């Protein structure tokens, strides 16, 4: 039998409508963020602004995109992220646009977001939770922490398990190799820029079963063309950090040096930079693609099964 609303006292109806239209404000809780800062954050954040594309991706992967009210300029994945209001780039944030979105929390990254903007937001009583992913282990930690922050703990566990299982499968495949080819990984065209030891990409190269020819203390070392030629890389991988023909031109130039092992064996290759330089769940997709580029034989059996 259907319930008749007239059976309820008028005050109950009024109170119910009031709380539907004006939900109770979120309570606050105190947490330690990944920059080891003590931060008071809402326990049910409803208006979230993310200050880096990788954080935007994590929020979407957690199924919490309905909370997003603003993202940074290059937040292009998933495609729905491009429709959200922009608050500048993660390095050059637009403070006025962030404040105008009336966020009840911002999620920032220690590597890239200006500390002055974080401090200014906090001075305006806008909580800022800072994440600090710098390798696979800490990417997983960030997924877990953002999940807790947005009351999406179970989805965060599922996402963590997915990333961990795929990482384990790549490690199993790489354990079969007998040779780790020497790789020159190019992220800049003019000047030529590669990646040192303290980078996401170095970890990916190592996990993918290769040697990083630019390994060393300099995070993003520069090279002349002659220096790269002298290294005699077996594989050259170019990231498409900028769009257009410039990267295809760089690929063609390396291929013209036939004394290079990479050119001689058709191993001058390209990969989407978003997959290898963003500390998001897609980093494991980048690892899978990179491993297949470097060791295609490891994946032939998988393709034959399809």
- Of 161, 188, 204, the residue at which a domain comes to its end is 161
Please check the confidence at residue 108 and state whether its pLDDT lies above 60. Answer: yes
Q: Is residue 151 part of a domain?
A: yes
Sheet holding 48-50, edge to edge: 68-70, 48-50, 105-109, 128-131
What is the 3-state secondary structure of 216-263?
A: CCCCCCEECHHHHHHHCCCEEEEECCCCCCHHHHHHHHHHCCCCCHHH
Please check the confidence at residue 102 and state whether its pLDDT lies above 60. Answer: yes
CATH number of the structural domain spanning residue 79? 3.40.50.1980
Nearest to 298 by CA among 194, 169, 195, 200: 169
Mark whether 223 and 250 lie in a shared domain. yes
Mark whether 195 and 287 lie in a shared domain. yes
CA dihedral sign, ordered 144, 150, 154, 160: negative
Mark whether 153 and 189 lie in a shared domain. no
Mark whether 216 and 96 lie in a shared domain. no
- Of 108, 129, 161, the residue at which a domain comes to its end is 161
Mark whether 250 and 155 lie in a shared domain. no
- Of 113, 131, 161, the residue at which a domain comes to its end is 161
Q: Is residue 150 part of a domain?
A: yes
Check residue 246 and give its pLDDT. Answer: 85
Check residue 12 and give its pLDDT. Answer: 40
Check residue 303 and give its pLDDT. Answer: 61
Q: Calculate the alpha carbon distances from 197 to 211, 214, 215, 255, 301 in Å.
A: 11, 8, 5, 26, 32
Q: Is residue 281 part of a domain?
A: yes
Please check the confidence at residue 300 and state whether its pLDDT lies above 50. Answer: yes
Collect all residues with Cβ–Cβ distance below 8 Å to 205 and sequence separation of at least 6: 183, 185, 195, 211, 212, 290
- Kindly state the helix (H) or strand (E) to which residue 293 belongs, with its residue range: helix 283-294
Domain that holds residue 95: 17-161
Residue pLDDT, tens place only, 155-175: 999 999 999 999 999 999 999
Q: Is residue 230 part of a domain?
A: yes
Residue ranges in 101-174 assigned as alpha helix (H): 115-123, 136-149, 153-174
pTM (2 decimals)? 0.87
Band of residue 269 on the pLDDT scale cut at 50, 70, 90: very high
Q: How far apart are CA 16 and CA 21, in angstroms?
A: 9
Please check the confidence at residue 281 and state whether its pLDDT lies above 60. Answer: yes
Q: Is residue 11 part of a domain?
A: no
Q: How far apart are CA 199 and CA 258, in angstroms?
A: 30
Could you give the number of structural domains in the chain? 2
Q: How far apart are CA 229 and CA 222, in angstroms?
A: 14
Mark whether 113 and 245 lie in a shared domain. no
Residue pLDDT, tens place only, 204-260: 999 999 999 999 999 999 999 999 999 999 999 999 865 567 888 999 999 999 999
Q: How far apart are CA 286 and CA 167, in angstroms?
A: 11
Band of residue 27 on the pLDDT scale cut at 50, 70, 90: confident
Mark whether 119 and 191 lie in a shared domain. no
What is the b/e burial string over 53-90, where b = at least 16 CB atoms within 10 angstroms of the residue's CB? bbbbbbbbbbebbebbbbbbbbbebeeebeebeebbbb
Residue pLDDT, tens place only, 81-97: 999 999 999 999 999 99
Nearest to 208 by CA among 182, 238, 241: 182
Query: Across all residues in the chain, what is the average pLDDT?
Result: 90
Please check the confidence at residue 20 and state whether its pLDDT lies above 70. Answer: no
Q: How far apart are CA 66 and CA 68, in angstroms?
A: 6
């Amino acid at each position: 039998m259907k319930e008749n609303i007239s059976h309820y006292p008028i005050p109950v109806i009024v109170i119910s409508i009031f709380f539907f239209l004006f939900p109770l404000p979120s309570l606050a809780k105190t947490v330690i963020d990944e920059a080891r800062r003590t931060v008071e954050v809402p326990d049910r954040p409803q208006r979230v602004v993310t200050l880096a594309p990788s954080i935007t991706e994590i929020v979407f992967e957690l199924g919490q995109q309905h909370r997003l009210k603003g993202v940074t300029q290059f937040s292009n994945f998933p495609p729905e992220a491009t429709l959200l209001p922009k608050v500048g780039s993660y390095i050059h944030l637009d403070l006025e646009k962030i404040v105008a979105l009336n966020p009840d929390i911002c999620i920032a990254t220690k590597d890239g977001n200006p500390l002055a903007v974080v401090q200014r937001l906090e001075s305006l009583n806008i909580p800022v939770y800072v994440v600090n992913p710098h390798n696979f282990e800490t990417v997983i930690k960030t997924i877990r922490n953002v999940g807790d922050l947005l009351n999406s703990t179970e989805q965060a566990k599922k996402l963590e398990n997915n990333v961990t299982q795929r990482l384990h499968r790549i490690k199993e495949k790489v354990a079969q190799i007998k040779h780790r080819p020497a790789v020159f990984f190019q992220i800049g065209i003019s000047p030529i820029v590669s990646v040192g030891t303290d980078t996401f990409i170095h970890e990916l190269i190592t996990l993918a079963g290769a040697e990083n020819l630019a390994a060393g203390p300099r995070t993003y070392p520069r090279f002349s063309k002659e220096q790269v030629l002298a290294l005699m890389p077996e594989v050259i991988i170019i990231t498409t950090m900028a769009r257009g023909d410039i990267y295809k031109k760089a690929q063609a130039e390396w291929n013209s040096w036939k004394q290079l092992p990479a050119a001689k064996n058709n191993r001058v290759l390209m990969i989407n930079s978003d997959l290898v330089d963003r500390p998001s769940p897609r980093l494991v997709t980048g690892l899978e693609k990179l491993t297949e580029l470097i060791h295609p034989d490891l994946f032939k059996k998988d393709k034959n099964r399809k």
